[in-house]
């Protein structure tokens, strides 16, 4: 029901058609603040019913206008809950949404689609290094206008923002298809972030002498990213590492593990994850079609979190080095926020490592 704009603009969905299961989508429109990247990345958007009159004081465009402006086809009138049940039985399927092909042509296009083994990261990664939000203006946290606006700064439309603390730690972030909210939260937790393209060699990263290295989310098959496995393997043990989603899988592969494709993946914002060290359970936001094989991980790598729906690996940590990752999205956007503490944990890990050096 919420989060459709974040889904559409999440680079992790590159190469995929997305179906929403809530019966009506588009109720609150879209706006330029709540995007997760500069452009939509879904191949097409499938819903049951489109809300034609968006109603929200922050709305700037209707969902239909937003998709049309960016050349993304959408289709409504689909029984998306029946479609979901079909996918859960058959697994993720190839498909096509088109206004240009007849039925036979559309079927042929769907059968010809490829996903496994394709490096979609190269379609979404940064083209050159850049520093994210040095002055903190892009990472300010939006709060409700009723939430003591005197503590923040209001813009012309009534959005109220809280100030961002000064950056105290320098990190390099590998961009495999990074959501903007990850960058926002890293900056809010005191990180100065230099973003580098996915193919950046480890030597280039280490030459920058960062306090830590972050591995982002992204689309596609992690096994196809052999250049990333090699780079991360060189960084392990030399800098603190934190990975999210695809970054988690890349880290696992770099440490000697292997991945496998899930039948229909983990999607959406209602995924329960258990921390095996504390017993605590968090409701998390997830978006991935592959998982680490726990039996492939070496002895020095501990499985720290598991998905309670199917028991798959949801988090790992090195037993002796400052290296950890999670399969889900602690930055969520739009939510839930149960796992946001991982950014503070990364900050603590970086500080403790700097104090020992």
Phi and psi at 36, nearest 5°, equal -100, -5
**Residue 227 burial (CB < 10 Å; 0-12/13-18/19+)?**
middle
Q: Is 331 annotated as catalytic? A: yes
Q: How many residues comprise the chain?
A: 357
Q: List, edge to edge, every strand of the sheet that includes 74-75.
A: 17-19, 44-46, 74-75
Contacts 24+ apart (CB under 8 A), 49-54: 49/23, 49/24, 49/25, 49/76, 49/77, 50/24, 50/25, 50/26, 50/74, 50/76, 51/24, 51/25, 51/26, 51/27, 52/26, 54/26, 54/27, 54/28, 54/29, 54/30
Cα–Cα distances in angstroms (integers) from residue 270 to residues 93, 143, 329, in the given order: 22, 23, 12
Strands (E), the chain: 17-19, 24-25, 44-46, 49-50, 74-75, 130-132, 141-143, 153-154, 160-162, 169-175, 191-197, 212-215, 241-244, 259-275, 281-292, 301-307, 313-318, 323-326
The verdict on whether 123 is a catalytic residue reads no
Cβ-contact 73, 40 below 8 angstroms: no
CA distance 100 to 149: 50
Out of 48, 229, 245, 305, the active site residue is 245
Contact criterion met (CB below 8 Å) for 25 and 51: yes
Active site residue 357: no
Burial zone of 100 (CB within 10 Å; 0-12 exposed, 13-18 middle, 19+ buried): exposed
Measured torsion, CA atoms of residues 133, 182, 294, 235, in degrees rounded to the nearest 10: 0
Catalytic residue among 229, 266, 288, 329: 329
CB atoms within 10 A of CB 146: 7
Active site residues: 245, 329, 331
């Amino acid at each position: 029901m919420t989060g459709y704009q974040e889904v559409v603009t999440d680079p992790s969905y590159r190469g995929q058609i997305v179906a929403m299961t809530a019966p009506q989508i588009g109720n609150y429109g879209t706006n330029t603040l709540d995007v997760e990247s500069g452009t939509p990345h879904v191949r097409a958007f499938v819903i049951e019913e489109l809300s034609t009159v968006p109603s929200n004081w922050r709305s700037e465009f209707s969902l239909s206008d937003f998709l049309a402006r960016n050349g993304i086809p959408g289709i409504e009138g689909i029984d998306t809950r029946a479609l979901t049940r079909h996918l859960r039985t058959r697994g993720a399927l190839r498909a096509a949404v088109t206004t240009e092909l007849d039925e036979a042509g559309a079927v042929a296009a769907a059968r010809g689609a490829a996903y496994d083994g394709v490096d979609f990261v190269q379609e979404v990664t940064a083209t050159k290094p850049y520093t994210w939000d040095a002055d903190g203006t892009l990472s300010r946290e939006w709060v409700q206008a009723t939430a003591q606006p005197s503590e923040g700064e209001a813009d012309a439309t009534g959005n109220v923002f809280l100030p961002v603390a000064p950056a105290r730690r320098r990190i390099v972030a590998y961009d495999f298809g990074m959501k903007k909210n990850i960058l926002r939260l890293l900056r809010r937790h005191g990180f100065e972030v230099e973003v580098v393209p996915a193919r950046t060699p480890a030597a280039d990263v280490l030459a920058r002498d960062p306090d830590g290295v972050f591995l982002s989310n992204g689309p596609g098959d992690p096994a196809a990213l052999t250049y990333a496995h090699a780079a991360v393997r060189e960084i392990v043990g030399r800098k603190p590492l934190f990975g999210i989603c695809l970054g988690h899988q890349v880290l696992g592969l770099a440490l000697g593990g292997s991945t496998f494709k899930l039948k229909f993946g983990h999607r959406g914002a209602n995924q329960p994850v258990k921390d095996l060290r504390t017993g605590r359970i968090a409701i998390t936001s997830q978006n991935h079609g592959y998982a680490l094989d726990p039996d492939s991980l070496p002895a020095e790598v501990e499985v720290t979190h598991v998905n309670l729906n199917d028991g798959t690996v949801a988090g790992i940590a090195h037993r002796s080095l400052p290296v950890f990752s999670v399969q889900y999205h602690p930055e969520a956007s739009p939510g839930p926020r149960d796992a946001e503490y991982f950014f503070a944990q990364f900050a603590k890990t970086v500080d403790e490592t700097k104090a020992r050096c």
